[in-house]
Amino acid sequence: MKAYDGMYIDGAWRPAAGDERIEVVNPADEQVIATVPAGTAQDVDEAVRAARAAFPGWAATAPAERAARITALRDALAARREEIAGTVSAELGAPPAFSRAVHADLPVAVAGSYAELLGSHEFEEKIGNSTVFHEPVGVVGAITPWNYPLHQIVAKAAPAFAAGCTVVLKPAEDTPLVARLFAEAVHEAGFPAGVFNLVTGRGPVAGQALAGHEGVDLVSFTGSTAVGRQIAATAGAAVKRVALELGGKSANVILPGADLAKAVNVGIANVFSNAGQTCSAWTRMLVHTEQYDEAVALAATAAAKYVPGGDRLGPVVSARQRDRVRGYIRRGIEEGARLVAGGPDAPEGRSTGYYIRPTVFADVTPGMTIAQEEIFGPVICVIRYEDEADALRIANGTVYGLAGAVWAADEATATAFARRMDTGQVDINGGRFNPLAPFGGYKDSGIGRELGAHGLTEYLHTKSLQF
């Protein structure tokens, strides 16, 4: 076990203000692997002061200088690929191959995309007799979750740096170690002191202090809807900008004429990767009544390939999350859904570790709790629909609207359906993830967009001068 010290503030690791510590647990074996300091309001205050002091200088740099630093950051992250993947596997529980391909490589791609974007992004435009300037918002308070721990950090920090903002990060308490690696990479990349600051700590203490700090101009939060609401209320009272990326309950709509086997197999992989801890996962599979039984059988077969502790399915992040997911599985059974794979008990031979049996529910009706609430584990609901109108009603029938998928015989049919979905992103016939496309939600899934040029805009103010 390693005891890490210090917060990264003003370009150096300095001692934490308090003595409290957070234990980091490996969810695969339930062992404490490290401890980090639990930050207090005082640590947050020092970090915000450093970020404020660094802001004018960083905001005044040329885009090419910011691009050079972000490129160096990308390279520093790429050089740490194995260390990052190993760290995420240890603190989150993701299988090694997934940690490398997604947890380590996606942030490198996202950082690189912002370095590139700076080569062409216009921070100035002419509108009639006005010149409009796009200026950095100021100090960003970034509060991130544990499910894609490095990606969530980079999806906030990289566009903030690109815009000319400075950042104070409060990462999730379950996954602080990869956040420390990020701080090391920022340091190595040669950013001026104070442009990036890290305070590890608990949500209700360090997180709340950061969200409510008067020196923070924008709070960017990813996590649960309940905490997001609270942060938006705090930010609202202070008339502060806020970006929220919250939960989801996305629909995978399989229309008649689609390649059913492909749609089901990709759909299962989408939900079960990262042990189901993906906000944009297509956790509701919507199938036409005539293909329903076939789809359920295909889903059960596909689920059997996910063996807890095997190379595709790790544990969930914590005992709390395991209990929460198992609670939902029990609730589904109580409400009358039919279990065709998995269940609430520990997987065979896995009494240690926070493992969940990959679970497929059939005969799920749209009003059931498991069809409405975000479960955040390897659990999928297969829901029957009668016709397209019914499918659309079900797809749009939750408080969320983050992502989704539509499969049809042709793109035009799928596109027409997707355009009527109340959701921020839809993959058509298996269209692949695009790290430049705006990512974010409708309804309770959030406010604002991350990634690409839209993600950069979140961190910019608009000023117009008339001539």
Binding of residue 89 to ligand NAD (CB under 6 A) = no
SS3 (DSSP) at 95: coil
- Residue closer to ligand NAD, measured from CB, 357 or 384: 357
Contact range with ligand NAD by CB under 6 A, out of 189-197, 224-232, 285-293, 339-347: 224-232
User: Rounded to an integer, what distance in angstroms lies between the CA atom of residue 399 and that of residue 372?
Assistant: 8
Length of the chain: 467
Q: Is 236 among the residues that bind ligand NAD (CB under 6 A)? A: no
Q: Is 222 in the site for ligand NAD (CB under 6 A)?
A: yes
**Does 245 sit near ligand NAD (CB under 6 A)?**
yes
450 is a site residue for ligand NAD (CB under 6 A): no
Instruction: Catalogue the E-assigned strands of 151-210.
Output: 166-170, 196-198
Instruction: Provide the minimum distance between the beta carbon of 359 and ligand NAD in the complex, in angstroms, as a whole number.
Output: 15
Q: Are strands 460-466 and 130-136 parallel, antiparallel or unpaired?
A: antiparallel
DSSP 8-class letter at 223: S
- Find the shortest distance in angstroms from Cβ 84 to ligand NAD: 19
Residue selected from 27, 39, 93, 203 as contacting ligand NAD according to rule CB under 6 A = 203
**C-alpha span between 165 and 135 (Å, rounded):** 9
From candidates 7, 115, 142, 172, binder to ligand NAD by CB under 6 A: 172
The distance of closest approach from Cβ of residue 446 to ligand NAD in the complex, given in angstroms and rounded to an integer, is: 8
211 binds ligand NAD per the rule CB under 6 A: yes
- The distance of closest approach from Cβ of residue 257 to ligand NAD in the complex, given in angstroms and rounded to an integer, is 33
Identity of the residue, 186 or 216, whose beta carbon is nearer to ligand NAD in the bound complex: 216
Could you tell me the smallest distance in angstroms from the CB atom of residue 458 to ligand NAD?
A: 16
Find, among 206, 211, 201, the residue nearest to 175 by Cα.
201
Q: Segment near ligand NAD (CB under 6 A), from 56-64, 182-190, 196-204, 333-341?
A: 196-204
d(CA 442, CA 358): 28
CB of 278 to ligand NAD, least distance (A): 7
Say how far residue 261 (Cα) sits from the centre of its chain.
28
Least distance between ligand NAD and beta carbon 271 (Å): 14
For residue 343, which phi and psi values (nearest 5 degrees)?
A: 150, 180
Which listed residue (165, 279, 374, 381) is catalytic? Answer: 279
**399 burial level (CB within 10 Å; 0-12, 13-18, 19+):** middle
Q: How many CB atoms lie within 10 A of CB 367?
A: 10
**Residue 395 within binding range of ligand NAD, rule CB under 6 A:** no
Closest to ligand NAD by CB, 280 or 291? 280
Contacts of 384 by beta carbon, 8 Å cutoff, 6+ apart:
287, 288, 289, 292, 363
**279 annotated active-site:** yes
Contact flag: residue 145 with ligand NAD (CB under 6 A): yes
Q: What distance in Å separates the CA atoms of residue 145 and residue 141, rounded to the nearest whole number?
A: 14
CA-to-CA separations, 83 to 129, 156, 309, in angstroms, rounded: 53, 21, 21
Strand order in the sheet with 21-26: 2-3, 31-37, 21-26
Minimum Å gap between C-beta 272 and ligand NAD is: 16
Q: Which two tokens stand for residue 187?
A: 């340091």
User: How many angstroms separate the CA atoms of 177 and 180, rounded?
Assistant: 5
Of 85-93, 225-233, 326-334, 379-387, the segment contacting ligand NAD by CB under 6 A is 225-233
φ/ψ bin of 379: left (φ > 0), alpha (ψ from -120 to 50), beta (otherwise): beta
Q: Which stretch binds ligand NAD (CB under 6 A): 56-64, 119-127, 227-235, 361-369?
A: 227-235
Residue 280 dihedral angles phi and psi, to the nearest 5°: -95, 10
Query: With binding defined as CB under 6 A, does residue 246 bind ligand NAD?
Result: yes
Task: Give the residue, chosen from 93, 159, 207, 314, that forms a contact with ligand NAD under the rule CB under 6 A.
Answer: 207
Q: Which of 48, 279, 281, 456 binds ligand NAD (CB under 6 A)?
A: 279
Q: Which two tokens stand for residue 433?
A: 């993830």
Does 273 participate in binding ligand NAD (rule CB under 6 A)? no
Interface positions with ligand NAD (CB under 6 A): 143-147, 170, 172-173, 202-204, 207-208, 211, 222-224, 227, 230-231, 245-247, 279, 324, 374, 376
Active site residues: 245, 279
